[in-house]
Amino acid sequence: MNKKLVFFGGTFDPPHIEHVKMAQAVESEISPDKIIIMPTFIPPHKKVFMPASPKNRLKMCELAFSGIKGATVSDYEIKQKGKSFSYLTVKYLKNAYPDHEILFLMGTDMLSSFHTWKNPTEILKYATPLLCEREGEGKSATDSKEEFFKRFGVKINSLNYVGKDLSSTQIKIKKLLKLNTDDCLKNSVNEYIDRHFLYNGGKIADFVIDNLTEKRLIHTKGVIALSIKYAKAFGVSLKKTVKSALLHDVAKYLRAEDYPNFVSPKGVPSQVMHQYLGAYVAEHILGVKDRQIINAVKYHTSAKPNMSLLGKIIFTADMLEEGRSYEGVEQIRKLSFEDFDKAFLLSIQRSLDYVYERGVEVYPLTLKAYEYYKRR
């Protein structure tokens, strides 16, 4: 059996430049007879950030992987609907291409968690993993391959190509905020997304974009990205989380005097006022009715006692997003996925320390919040 088929599955929402480079590496290093690109079906109930339709994901894949020798895009898993199980897919591929050796392209994290998949030994009857290491993944490729061999007795081949750390979620956030994605997507995919208004945030996103600087939009991107991770980890509504993170700094550069019906709270330092004006704008200008979202915006800078989990997520993400570079931020960022409440308290403490360092007025509500959560 000399023929080779490489199976490359994923959500591809959207298919980005690193997906393309992985397929190109397969073509140049393995020279397979076929590369089957297969988008998964996304069930309606699954928590996905701004999902594109199966039709759009298929079309984007056709555009992204065009020009790669032997590559075809399959709608098999999409047509099956429901949850896509790899053991069924590779069995289907083996039946469809009985004279081909099937290589299953996957990353280090996928290889490390392979034993938790449904019927992993069944997958290995029909296919052998082909590893493409990516920057930023937890375990090294060597450790993962050794563990895999000990568990399954199967030796894994690796591509020489090491992929960059790039996620479809990050690209969708950039699209939401109309930030440049030329370095993330093929031109044809970029144009398709814009032409079909995919990953578009509507009037709320447009208002935010119109009223923030590019630097502040990049910060907002970081807050949204980290908030999404927290929402998925802690079971909070993804839709509410994204909207709260998108709006959290909406009033950063707005003037209270331009909103005559806005009642300014007394004794609020200037660096905190935008949270209250932002909550007002969200509710009265942009039509947000959800009190959890409004309150998440309203206290994202100061914090307060007895916040909702959503509110704590936005406050913490604001303090720990990837653009923050103060001393100790990496440790608190890591801690936030191990002990979120402790990281939240440390984030409040860091906020207070920053105010003390600058010698500006300390907002009493932040002190109350710190004492409240310290006791708990």
What is the pLDDT confidence band of residue 45, given thresholds at 50, 70 and 90?
A: low
Classify residue 257 by its DSSP letter: G
Residue 46 has pLDDT above 70, yes or no: no
Residue listed under structure tokens 């993170």: 245
Distance between start and end Cα atoms, the chain: 65
Q: What is the pLDDT of residue 359?
A: 84
142 pLDDT band, cuts 50/70/90, is confident
Q: Is the pLDDT of residue 1 over 60?
A: no
pTM of structure? 0.92
- More confident of the two residues 279 and 145: 279
Question: Which tens digit of pLDDT belongs to each residue from 314-343?
Answer: 999 999 999 999 999 999 999 999 999 999
pLDDT of amino acid 139: 62
- In CATH, the number for domain 203-375 is 1.10.3210.10
Domain borders along the chain are 3-165, 203-375
Sign of CA dihedral 16, 18, 21, 26: negative
Q: Residue 43 — pLDDT band, cuts 50, 70, 90? A: low
φ/ψ of residue 272, rounded to 5? -105, -20
Tokens 């998949």: give the residue.
Answer: 117
pLDDT at 140 over 80: no
Which CATH architecture group holds 3-165?
3-Layer(aba) Sandwich (3.40)
Structure-token pair, residue 170: 């990050």
Question: What is the structure's pLDDT at 135?
Answer: 82
| 316, 340 Cβ separation under 8 angstroms | yes
